[in-house]
Structure 1
Amino acid sequence: MTFVGGYWVLTTQHEIIDTYDMEVELFSIWMKNQGMTKATQQAYLSDTRSFLHMIYPNEIAKLGKIDVMRFLSDRRERGAGDEARNRKLSSLRAFFKALNEMEHIQINPAALIAKSKQEKNRIPTYLEEDQLESFFQSIAGKYQHRNMAILLLMAFAGLRVGEIHRMNIQDLHQDGSIHILGKGRKWRVIPLPESMHQVLIRSLDERIEPKQSKEQGFFISQFGRRLSVRMIQTVADQTFEVLQQKMPALNGLKLSSHKLRHSFATMQIRSGTDIRTLQELLGHSSIETTQIYTHIDNKQMKMAMDKVSSKIPLSISSRN
């Protein structure tokens, strides 16, 4: 239903798609030329189509800041949190920027809308070292070595799911390093420990023969295609399920593939890795993103306070 001229009118998805077909096509072309990943393109298009559905049948060129804010307010009322709201705003900023650069419109009504302030210093969910050990003992099945390599790359190299999905055979080098294509199409080089390098070599030796000989994906599915993002997430999810059966105390936590990346970052900080190096390892464009991992648990805080306890003047206690 769309409110038009004082009346509610029944509209179909096809009508909305036809109305904004040119704008969506221009946006798609722009995103591809920007080198955005397929996952980013799909996410941006999904948010944009939701927006277009809401503003139909208004012309794009006549939209203003209020139209974007009305959409964001509607999403918040439907349950979207600050993070989801900011992602939708980023999608619309990109959408209008694309149309502007493609000379389809003259303004970007989303450009000056402020992002929501998100909760800072929120401690990410991560696994302790003993929990990680039990996690890797939970890996089993026909593709055990492949899955072991995938999960090691998350938990002990800090890779994102999408980065593992994009990994090619030639990205593993003889010197033990891997070259990773991360967010923003930025490459980073990660020197792997020898033990992990050997696991990857074994995984490559046991690599399933792809259906197409030109397929260079490092990890191949049982169907002979590059392992999908969803399947990589499933590998982690299934292993977490086994872990939670062994460790019921973890049942209250929302464990997912990204939590392994959190675990990697936490281990690095606890081992004394400086935040700038950690930023490079994680492939963060901003050091502010990396700073969420500088959380310190109670044990470390107690150790820090114990260091100064010997410096408290003894005469203080005698005054009481």
Structure 2
Amino acid sequence: MNWEELITLYNEYLFLEKGLSKNTQLAYIRDLKKIKYYFNKDNSITPNTINKENVQDFIYDYSKKSKSSKSQARLISSIKSFFKFLQLEDIRKDNPAELLESPKIGLYLPDTLEHDEVMKLIESIDLSTSEGERNRTIIETLYGCGLRVSELVNLKLSDLFFNENLIRVTGKGDKQRLVPISDWTIKYINIYINEIRLHQTINPKFKDILFLNRRGGQLTREMVFIIVKKLSRNAGINKNISPHTFRHSFATVLLKNGADLRSIQLMLGHESITTTEIYTHLDREQLREAIEKYHPFNINKDFKTDENKI
């Protein structure tokens, strides 16, 4: 079997067996097509015959073109996973990528927004237009619920349980979770539904999708990125803002106000609490305050050690 046939088979495996999201599947397949195109001119190198030296040559060549450690690490992960799949299917006896080492990736902490910066951004929105009302609701929902952009654009009317102050969110790998939603956010979603969305001509295919474009279709992830970038420029916020910034800010503000990591983990839909710890980083000032507030030497201010008893 050739590269194309086995990559297609692997893609089916990712969907049916691994349950990965569409975006994750696409990322894996994009990576595998890079190695396919690299060996396209040499018909003797197929997924069945490729050896570790061939793989190392490809990775070395790729590393010269890409300075991003993150993209290199993901590429290596994709290749390892692909050949592991070929082993499981008895197409190969070995994994030629098994000994590849991924580059070390430093901790990446994107910009966060303070609450007053979020409000400044919201206040910059032109609410005289229907798109303005929709965009305010998008920001309120991203910041109020900590959603990924893919979760936002796929949010449905049937996912809204406002009587219970909950929304149902479909996250990575089509895993669903219930996320609390405040009365404040509910208010703006209802305004959007009843005053904007109600008067749109909606494509029947998207009648249950909450956020629509001006043609009555589903908003794309790319469109939300454009909306957020434009609003941040209008508000004069000189930070690298994306839809994910609001998710990070949501987690950070909850932690600062006393929420525990486990609760934040469940709301964000993280499988591992280690991921949550990265999203909800503590700055030095918070650490200092935590020591002053909770360490017994600071709680018991009058405690004195008696050196004579030591």
Fold shared by both chains (TM-score > 0.5): yes
Task: Give yes or no for contact 1:65–1:110 (8 Å, CA) kept in 2.
Answer: yes
Alpha-carbon RMSD across the aligned residues, in angstroms, is 2.8
Q: Which amino acid aligns with 1:46?
A: R
Describe the SS at the equivalent of 1:62.
Answer: coil
1:232 maps to what in 2?
A: 224
1:111 Cα deviation from its structure 2 partner:
4.5
1:133 maps to what in 2?
A: 119
Comparing 134-143 with 124-133, greater Cα deviation is found at 134-143
The correspondence of residues 214-233 of structure 1 with structure 2, limited to 5 A, is: 215-233=207-225
The answer on 1:47 being equivalent to 2:36 is: no
1:89 maps to what in 2?
A: 76
- Partner residue of 1:166 out of 150, 154, 159: 154
Q: Which amino acid aligns with 2:11?
A: S
2:9 maps to what in 1?
A: 26
Comparing 211-220 with 155-164, greater Cα deviation is found at 211-220
Paired-residue identity, %: 27
The correspondence of residues 199-214 of structure 1 with structure 2, limited to 5 A, is: 199-205=188-194, 206-207=196-197, 208-213=200-205
Aligned residues: 292
1:91 Cα deviation from its structure 2 partner:
2.2
1:60 Cα deviation from its structure 2 partner:
0.8
The verdict on how the C-alpha distance between 1:223 and 1:300 changes in structure 2, with shifts beyond 3 A counting, is same
Cα deviation 1:228-254 (Å, max 9, x = unaligned): 11112112111111122xx4xx2xx32
Describe the SS at the equivalent of 1:131.
Answer: helix
Q: Which amino acid aligns with 1:95?
A: F
Task: Give yes or no for contact 1:215–1:226 (8 Å, CA) kept in 2.
Answer: no
Task: Give yes or no for contact 1:269–1:293 (8 Å, CA) kept in 2.
Answer: no
The verdict on how the C-alpha distance between 1:123 and 1:108 changes in structure 2, with shifts beyond 3 A counting, is same
Gaps of 5+ in 1: 1-17, 316-320
The verdict on how the C-alpha distance between 1:265 and 1:63 changes in structure 2, with shifts beyond 3 A counting, is same
Comparing 28-37 with 259-268, greater Cα deviation is found at 28-37
Q: Which amino acid aligns with 1:200?
A: I
Task: Give yes or no for contact 2:76–2:102 (8 Å, CA) kept in 1.
Answer: yes
The answer on 1:152 being equivalent to 2:144 is: no
The answer on 1:190 being equivalent to 2:182 is: no
1:259 maps to what in 2?
A: 245
TM-score if structure 2 supplies the norm length? 0.83
Distance 2:55 2:257 in 1: 45
Structure 1 runs of 4+ off > 6 angstroms?
312-315
